[in-house]
């Protein structure tokens, strides 16, 4: 295991009606808020109204910036930064899912950044200062509500890159499962695939002899496997939405990565894919993850798959190799059971850019993945397996 430093500064307000705490959560940071939201759902389903009611009732000054896209765009971030500067904003409140929160984080550090913002993403330039960010979550998926990551798409350059800093961790997040009742079936499934994949990226690791994060990871996966079909089939089931919501937060707040080398190859491949094709992130992950598993499974790695099969999928009485294979089959079946595709061709992606995407990744990163290192050729093979 590796040494680690763990910082979890985000205060979590979890449960129905927790919006009542919004003004208490905001007040330590000052009385001028930029409310960032997406295209329509927060407004359509009343979450935005709930936020505004709390702000007005508690006399908190606020400005709105709405229209953030899924896969949020650099130009949207730049617009938000201008507003934050002009209006002397003191806190950015994201009302939405991971895209909105990510955009809010990028605005938060962009407010004080010098030069071209995209350089921070390209070169991991260190940030000095950022506005505080708070979140009211409406979609369980990315975990952005309790971590320092922001993924932004530069449309012009066909680049989708993450930026991560402790300074971007939200100061608070309001997690009300009823705010996800209106998320439709397909979006619910995309979110679940994202959560599942986040855990897998951290679980498959060369780090051994370090149990707590792995056993917690298995617990999150078992929770998702149990509650996903219920949430998917009964969109307003509170217990299911609550379990999935807390799974999404716990999957990517740093706890299951403590002390571990983590992989993230599938996310790297998916980011490239959705920079080119703008498909939902969760859909891309559901397609790619099982092929990644098949590609990296070998004599060297099969023990980890065996543990995964036994502890997560409850596979008993098979050989180590059979358990490993069966665990991959179960993973793909799970995604399929939520209506998610198994092939890129099912979502209209054929081999046009496969070589280019694999080349980009290889050139930029050298290799991706730390459970198993993958170069351009490996990446291209995995993309092609998924066609």
**Dihedrals φ, ψ of 16, to 5°?**
-60, 130
Beta strands in 77-127 (DSSP E): 91-96
Binding piece for a second copy, criterion CB under 8 A, among 15-23, 39-47, 73-81, 263-271? 15-23
Contact 91, 130 (CB under 8 A): no
Pairing of β 172-175 and β 133-137: parallel
Encode burial over 28-42: b for 16+ CB neighbours within 10 A, e otherwise: ebeebbbbbbbeebb
| Residue in the structure block whose two tokens are 């409406």 | 138
Q: What is the DSSP secondary structure assignment for residue 68, as one 8-state letter? A: P
Binding piece for a second copy, criterion CB under 8 A, among 6-14, 100-108, 122-130, 154-162? 6-14
Rounded to an integer, what distance in angstroms lies between the CA atom of residue 227 and that of residue 330? Answer: 16
Shortest distance, position 375 Cβ to a second copy, whole Å? 31
Q: Does 17 bind a second copy (CB under 8 A)?
A: yes
| Cβ proximity to a second copy, 223 vs 376, nearer residue | 223
Residues in region 349-368 near a second copy by CB under 8 A: none
| Cβ proximity to a second copy, 212 vs 387, nearer residue | 212
* Maximum alpha-carbon separation in the chain: 65
Residues in region 248-307 near a second copy by CB under 8 A: 250, 255, 258-259
Contact 345, 257 (CB under 8 A): no
Q: Does 243 bind a second copy (CB under 8 A)?
A: yes
Contact 106, 35 (CB under 8 A): no
Shortest distance, position 246 Cβ to a second copy, whole Å? 5
Shortest distance, position 166 Cβ to a second copy, whole Å? 10
Task: Tell me which of 233, 239, 298, 319 binds a second copy, using CB under 8 A.
Answer: 239
Binding piece for a second copy, criterion CB under 8 A, among 10-18, 125-133, 137-145, 148-156? 10-18
Q: Does 18 bind a second copy (CB under 8 A)?
A: yes
Contact 65, 80 (CB under 8 A): yes
| Cβ proximity to a second copy, 55 vs 216, nearer residue | 216
Rounded to an integer, what distance in angstroms lies between the CA atom of residue 181 and that of residue 337? Answer: 20
Q: Does 6 bind a second copy (CB under 8 A)?
A: yes
| Cβ proximity to a second copy, 227 vs 264, nearer residue | 227
Sheet with 61-65, edge to edge strand ranges: 61-65, 32-37, 91-96, 133-137, 172-175
* Cα dihedral sign, 318-229-192-345: positive
Q: Does 232 bind a second copy (CB under 8 A)?
A: no
Residues in region 183-222 near a second copy by CB under 8 A: 209-212, 214-216, 218-220, 222
Shortest distance, position 218 Cβ to a second copy, whole Å? 6
Where on the chain is the footprint of a second copy (CB under 8 A)?
A: 1-9, 11-18, 21, 209-212, 214-216, 218-220, 222-223, 226-227, 239, 242-243, 246-247, 250, 255, 258-259
């Amino acid at each position: 295991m590796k040494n680690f430093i763990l910082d979890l500064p985000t205060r979590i307000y979890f449960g129905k009606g927790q919006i009542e705490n919004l003004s208490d959560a905001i007040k330590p940071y000052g009385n001028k808020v930029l409310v960032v939201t997406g295209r329509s759902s927060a407004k359509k389903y009343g979450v935005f109204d709930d936020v505004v009611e709390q702000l007005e009732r508690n006399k908190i000054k606020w400005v709105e910036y709405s229209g953030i896209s899924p896969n949020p765009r650099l130009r949207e971030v730049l617009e938000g930064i201008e507003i934050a500067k002009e209006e002397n904003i003191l806190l950015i409140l994201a009302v939405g899912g991971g895209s909105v929160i990510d955009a809010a984080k990028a605005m938060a550090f962009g407010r004080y950044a010098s030069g071209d913002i995209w350089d921070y993403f390209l070169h991991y330039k260190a940030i000095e200062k950022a506005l505080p960010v708070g979140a009211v979550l409406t979609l369980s998926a990315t975990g952005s509500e309790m971590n320092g990551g922001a993924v932004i798409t530069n449309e012009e350059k066909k680049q989708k890159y993450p930026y991560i800093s402790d300074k971007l961790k939200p100061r608070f997040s309001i997690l009300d499962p009823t705010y996800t009742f209106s998320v439709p079936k397909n979006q619910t499934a995309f979110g679940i695939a994202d959560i599942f994949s986040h855990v897998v990226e951290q679980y498959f690791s060369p780090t051994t002899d370090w149990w707590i994060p792995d056993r917690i990871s298995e617990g999150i996966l078992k929770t998702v496997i149990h509650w996903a079909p219920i949430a998917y089939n009964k969109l307003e089931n509170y217990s299911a939405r609550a379990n999935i919501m807390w799974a999404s937060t716990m999957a990517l707040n740093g706890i299951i990565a403590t002390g571990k080398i983590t992989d993230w190859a599938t996310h790297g491949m998916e980011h490239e894919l959705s920079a080119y094709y703008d498909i939902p992130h969760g859909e891309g992950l559901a397609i790619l993850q099982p092929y990644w598993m098949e590609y990296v499974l070998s004599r060297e790695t099969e023990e980890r798959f065996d543990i995964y099969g036994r502890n997560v999928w409850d596979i008993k009485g098979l050989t180590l190799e059979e358990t490993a294979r069966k665990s991959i089959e179960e993973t793909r079946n799970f995604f399929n059971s939520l209506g998610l595709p198994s092939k890129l061709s099912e979502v209209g992606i054929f081999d046009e850019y496969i070589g280019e995407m694999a080349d980009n990744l290889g050139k930029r990163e050298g290799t991706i993945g730390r459970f198993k290192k993958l170069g351009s050729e490996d990446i291209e093979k995995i993309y092609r397996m998924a066609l």
